[in-house]
Amino acid sequence: MELQPGLLQDIAIFGGLSEDTLGFVLDRATRVRVAAGEHFLTEGDMATSLFVLESGQVRVHKDAEGSAIVLHELNPGAVFGEMSLLAVRPRSATIEASEDCIAVEITNRSLFELYEVDPAEFAMLVMNLGREVARRLWEANERLFTATQGKLDSIDS
């Protein structure tokens, strides 16, 4: 099945990109199927791509002394794997399918090809990725503050 640009149009990191650019990215993307219980990516691995979840649900978790701590659950339309591409660092968490999933995989190579043919559209995409990562950092800071505040309140009592 051919990937259509409409698949990406409502996803924030692709906002403002032309239909030609969306087509360019999707022409180089692949659709992957991951069964429930299997991993899209594993904490510590080097990054080569990001994913857009088309169907199913995934869990984001980190390993803590042999047990998985679930940080978040993601639904269709979610993007994951982008942090490691931006930071050029190993994966910060594991993404596990909690049910059978289909996702679009976009490689760092295809993003570089976009840079080569249209630096302005590439810059827009990278800015959108940066905004998404900043939004997630803001949310994580709020959760951490709330969790810490509860502990501080119990210490003060």
| Residue 137, domain CATH | 2.60.120.10
Domain with 127 in it: 6-156
Residue with the larger pLDDT of the pair 123 and 86: 123
- Asked whether residue 113 is domain-assigned, the answer is yes
Task: Give the tens place of pLDDT for each residue, 24-72.
Answer: 999 999 999 999 999 999 999 998 899 999 999 999 998 888 788 898 8
The letter for the amino acid at 111 is: L
Q: Is the pLDDT of residue 6 over 80?
A: no
* pLDDT at 102 (0 to 100): 95
pLDDT category at 87 given cuts 50, 70, 90 is: confident
| Chain centre distance of CA 120 | 22
State the total domains in the chain. 1
Could you tell me whether strands 79-80 and 49-55 are parallel, antiparallel, or unpaired per DSSP bridges? antiparallel
- The confidence band for 3, taking pLDDT boundaries of 50, 70 and 90, is low
The answer on pLDDT for 10 being more than 90 is: no
SS3 74: strand
Q: Is residue 75 part of a domain?
A: yes
Is 78 within a domain?
Answer: yes
pTM value?
A: 0.85
Residue 1 included in any domain: no
Residue-level pLDDT at 154? 53
Stretch 104-127: mean pLDDT, rounded?
A: 95
Residue 97 lies inside a defined structural domain of this protein: yes
